[in-house]
Structure 1
Amino acid sequence: MVPNFLTNELKPLGTGTNTTATSTYNATFYVLKSLNLGTQETQFLVLVNVLVYAIVGKLIPCCLMGIFGTMLVYQMQMHVQKRRRIIMTFSEASGMKFREHSRTTVMLISVIILFVVAEFPQGVLIMISACKRRFFDTVYLPLGDVMDIVALLNNAINFVLYCTMSAKFRETFIMLFCSLPKCWQKCLGERSIMYM
């Protein structure tokens, strides 16, 4: 965020008078200084910041997530096929392990797709903003809230996916967060004994 801090600047737009039911007051309105993206007036630091953010922060992670996710799913499938060859008769326990594996694969693919859908378009829009005049003001800024909501939904949906599809995640989550109040009660109990 340091390059964003260095390249963005608030400037006063002007003063105005606001009237409410109880009082009238003057206020100065501030807006972000125009970055002049896609023009010859774009500062070098601004252009580098935008391109690094788009490439390193959005596009490369999406590509790496797709590549490594595909490799991981492939390796998981190969592992299952080897196990199926070794175990000719399925017991109830091994059948449950294979169902858990298929849920994990679906969860992994879902997380990858959601991440790419949430982040890749933003990276592409930022790249276009750096090259095309007025694209940032007319297209990117109006879509900013939508992109933020999509990113927040992505995080919320990921949590729900982990909880519903992974028994190990549920066990760890319950163990961690349901045992914390007991720890606090124990600590508070010991503390109250110390002060008595």
Structure 2
Amino acid sequence: MSLFPSEPYQLKLSGANVMYYPDFLTSEEATLYFTTLYKETPWQQDDIKVFGKVHPQPRLTALYATNNIPYSYSNITMHPHSFTFALSEIKKKVEIITNTTFTTCLLNLYRDGKDSNGWHADDEKELGKNPTIASVSLGASRVFKLRDKKAKSSVHSMSLEHGSLLLMKDETQHNWQHQIPKTSKFVEPRINLTFRTIKG
């Protein structure tokens, strides 16, 4: 743990509002949460259809919500569990720093470098017009990429570190896509918590 926590910084992306907090959690907090969530989460692996073919999703997921409202993406509909104590603690910390109230958390477990998340935007209708997405990273660092929807050659890459928070707001989901690409390098597991607001 650094004696002098890093300052949050704004990514310089046209048509986006993305803020990165490298030291959102201390290393000790992040490790404790990772261990707890890794062991206690009822992970599931859904099938997705890509170009007419059905494949197992290349990561494990779980959904939690305060309002029992399901969440649908990529032809998958997930039904939420109730927030655990650990998730509720993280949720409170996220809400304080973002000044936003979240209802839902989608967890992703990337077991190794073969697990990934393809190019997409969190722009489902139930998330509203300009959704705020708060993403907490626990475990191994993974490369995170953002790509301009129109100028697809405009790609920003960064590393999401253990205990960090990435906040995407305003028109970001309209103008940019993001992904966690596969890697041939050996990497330990990573858990990603994406907080969002879904209203009934």
TM-score for the superposition, normalised by structure 1: 0.26
Larger relative contact order (Cα-Cα within 8 Å, sequence gap ≥ 6)? 2
Q: Which has the higher helix share?
A: 1
Bigger Rg, which one: 1
TM-score for the superposition, normalised by structure 2: 0.25
